Amino acid sequence: MLNNFRDSLKPHLEKIGTVFASTGLSPNFWTAVGLVLAFASAAVYGLNTHISYAAIIGGILLLVSGFFDIVDGQVARITKKVSKKGGFLDSVFDKVAEVAIFLGILVGNFAEPHMVLLAITLSLLVSYSRSRAESLGVKLQGIGIGERAERLLVIAIIGMIPGLMPYAILIVVIIAGITFVQRIVVTAKNISD
């Protein structure tokens, strides 16, 4: 859903890309920075019983990780280094990061294990349905109310409020489930036998 606002944000995103491109560092470097920050967020969530304000620190790290998920693509566009390899790495690292975040939440005992498992399962199914549909020629970017950005924003922002992480996970389950169904419907309508 947030992907639908990219065009209106394009001038601002290009400025961000220009600033980070001026460092001379590759888009893949920024992808790796985002992944490292996601791992840091997951570790903080996982150490909930040992770190005060783990949900707040984990949420902030998750938001910064998401920022670098924007940076890498913008740097690739600005430097004209958009590549299939970079796109593949970005996509795979996004999934690794997402699984790590949910694992941290699970280990940190922020929500019921079965709800965390359901959230990650539906999240991965949302991503898989897009990947599979696009291999059949059906574009699904922007289809659904719970794409990756929305899911991670819910966890980071709502999860930062003390005691609300279980509700953040529940919201992720709901929006990921709806998005999965939306993508199945759209794909089924657009596949020609």
User: Which active-site residues does the annotation give?
Assistant: 94
69 is annotated as contributing to ligand binding: yes
End-to-end CA distance of the chain: 28
DSSP secondary structure code for residue 154 in this structure? I
- Helix, strand, coil in percent for the chain, rounding step 5: 80, 0, 20
7 is annotated as contributing to ligand binding: no
Q: Give one DSSP letter per residue of 20-46, joined into a string.
A: HHTTT--HHHHHHHHHHHHHHHHHHHH
Element (H, E) at 182: helix 165-190
d(CA 125, CA 122): 5
d(CA 150, CA 9): 16
Judge residue 192's burial from the number of C-beta atoms within 10 Å of its C-beta, 0-12 exposed, 13-18 middle, 19 or more buried.
Answer: exposed
Q: Which residues of 25-57 are buried (b: 16+ CB within 10 A; e: fewer)?
A: bbbbbbbbbbbebbbbbbbbbbebeebeebbbb
Binding residues for Mg(2+): 69, 72, 90, 94
Binding residues: 69, 72, 90, 94
